[in-house]
Structure 1
Amino acid sequence: MDKLNMKKYFKKFAIWAIGLYLVGGIALYFVQDKLLFHPEVLPANYQYKFDIPFQEILIPVNKKVKLSAVLFKTSGRARGMVLYFHGNAKNINRYAQLMPNFTRNGYDVLILDYREFGKSTGELTEAALYEDALLMYKVARARFAPWQIVLYGRSIGTGIAAQLASVRDCKRLILETPYYNLEDVASSSAPIYPVGMMLDYKLPTNEFLPKVTAPITIFHGTNDNTVPYGSGKKLEEFFKKGDEFVTIKGGRHNNLNDYPLFHAKLDSVLKQ
């Protein structure tokens, strides 16, 4: 191949490469919500069935938006309430099996489906996530003092819980498989794109933690392929005295509940 033909070949290749890059970036931008959130919608007349006592709660936001929540009740008199912010998939049904982790320690648990999840209505946005978290806190404050309220975030819910803890008092903030921020996670999956400029959701946990005055406990598994262990570990730089990062060796993103260390540490902090 002579120099002229080679130059034409590389020029054509470059044009195709740039085109594919741009098309990929545009596609990534417009499908990011579907990549980030995987809700499972439930009909309005759906009846929950759980093995532990519960009460379904409907939290009105305005005339068009209503949030579906479930209050799981401990036996006897509750020592406080856990506000549980769940992950990015399905709905309350998926996480109900985890509620005994809290009720057996004497806590009621309020878990909310985000907008577009379960029976909740309205448009899902980052601002809405924070707004709805404040409504959950308001429900808790009707029954308990701040020093009796534990904020618990799992996966995508960790950023929401951290934001709430940065603007409202609570007994403790507990984060399971958290991220430094969403850009940090997305960059590891799509390093060739300027994801920080493309993301509609930021959820900057790293900006919230320095404002949290309550004790912080973080759980993260070393084999987490969804939110890299290193992303959560970086949050340790914002710890104050008394905060704790609990490493679950071999733990993945969705199985920390299978580890005795997870339960031992969780029971310990909830009994404090």
Structure 2
Amino acid sequence: MPMPDLRKNLKKIALWAIGIYLAAGLALYFVQDKLIFHPEVLPANYQYKFDIPFQELLIPVNKKVKLSAVLFKAERPRGMVLYFHGNSANINRYAQYMPEFTRNGYDVLIMDYREFGKSTGRLTEAALYEDALLMYKVARSRFAPWQIVIYGRSLGTGIAAQLASVRDCRRLILESPYYSLSDVAASSIPIYPHSLMLEYKLPTNEFLPKVAAPVAAFHGTKDETIPYSSGKKLAEECFKPGDTQFTLKGGKHNNLHDYPLFQAKLDSLLKL
């Protein structure tokens, strides 16, 4: 093939590659909400059914926005856990974990983020932090800060960390935490500038240094959703003396509760 034709063909290939890269990046930008969040909406008249005592709450944000929440009740509560759930489904999915807290004498307040379950309003990062403060306000109407445990699971770890960085609590517990959403995205699709593209930052690494309460984290080494390396980097760079990371060898994203070590350590943390 003559050299000029080769250069011409290589230029075409390069232009096609750049075009595909930019088009794919643009598509990722506009669908990022659907990639990050997987809510299941419930009708307003939906009736929850759980095996342990509970009370449904409707927390008003303003005239148009209301948060659906459920308060799971311990028999003789000595405190409250504020539980921030993951990026999918709604309260129904996470109710199975509530007895782990109520058996230790804690009420548990869990809310659905906006656009999840029966909650209304538009979901934004600022709204996640604003709504977390409302949950804390509910908890403070019943308990003192030293009786409040803030718990985050998966996506909820960044929200929990942000709340603990601006409000006092007894302890912050993180299940499968991430350094930041950008760090998680970079591990999945490393060819894009995620810090510039992501509308949701959730920089847990920026929040933890501001958390005065003791911090404990659980992470499985085989986590297929949030890489163990992201949680490990968070612990190495942002934990203060006395904070603890519990590594569950072979643990995946959704099976940590099956580990006796997880149950034993969680019980121990809640008794401290």
SS at match of 2:70: strand
Alignment of 1:161-240 (within 5 A): 161-236=160-235, 237-240=237-240
Counterpart-to-counterpart distance in 1, 2:249 and 2:36: 26
The reply to whether residue 248 of structure 1 matches residue 234 of structure 2 is no
1:31 aligned residue:
31
SS in 1 for 2:8: helix
Deviation string 1:73-102 (CA, Å, 9 cap, x unpaired) is 011x20100000000000000000000010
The equivalent residue for 2:110 is: 111
How far did 1:125 drift? 0.2
Please state how far the C-alpha of 1:235 moved relative to its aligned partner: 1.4
Partner of 1:90: 89
Q: Give the Å deviation of 1:225.
A: 1.1
**DSSP 3-state at the match of 1:136:** helix
Shift of 1:129: 0.1
Matched ranges for 1:103-142 at <5 A: 103-142=102-141
| 1:254 shift after superposition | 0.8
User: Following the alignment from structure 1 to structure 2, what is the Cα–Cα distance between the partners of residues 154 and 41?
Assistant: 20
User: Aligned letter for 2:21?
Assistant: Y
Cα separation, 2, equivalents of 1:197 and 1:223: 28
Q: How many pairs align?
A: 271
Shift of 1:239: 1.6
Q: What is the aligned partner in structure 2 of residue 67 from structure 1?
A: 67
Counterpart CA distance in 2 for 1:79 and 1:197 is 44
Q: Deviations over 1:52-74 (max 9, x none)?
A: 00000000000000000000001
Secondary structure at the counterpart of residue 56 of structure 1: strand
CA distance in 2, matches of 1:120, 1:61: 10
Give the residue type in structure 2 aligned to 1:129: L
Alpha-carbon separation, structure 2, partners of 1:187 and 1:219: 22
Which amino acid counterpart does residue 192 of structure 2 have in structure 1?
Y
For the residues of structure 2 that align with 1:4 and 1:208, how far apart are their CA atoms?
A: 56
TM-score, normalised relative to structure 2: 0.99
Instruction: State whether structure 2 residue 156 is matched by structure 1 residue 149.
Output: no
Aligned-pair RMSD on alpha carbons? Answer: 0.5
Task: Check if 1:42 corresponds to 2:39.
Answer: no
Match of residue 53 from structure 2: 53
Aligned mates of 1:252, 1:262 — CA distance in 2: 12
Q: Per the alignment, in what secondary structure is the counterpart of residue 223 of structure 1?
A: coil
**What is the rounded CA distance, in whole Å, between the counterparts of 1:6 and 1:64 in structure 2?**
62
State the TM-score, normalizing by the size of structure 1.
Answer: 0.99
Matched, 1:15 2:12: no
Structure 1 residue 242: Cα displacement? 1.5
In 2, Cα distance between equivalents of 1:242 and 1:188: 29
Q: Could you tell me which residue of structure 1 aligns to residue 79 of structure 2? A: 80
CA–CA distance in structure 1, aligned partners of residues 213 and 195 of structure 2: 29
Tell me the SS of whatever aligns to 1:21.
helix
Q: Identity of paired residues, percent?
A: 79
Name the SS of the counterpart of 2:31 in structure 1: helix
CA distance in 2, matches of 1:226, 1:260: 22
Q: After TM superposition, give the deviation of residue 241 of structure 1 in Å.
A: 2.1
- Structure 1 unmatched ranges of 5 or more: none
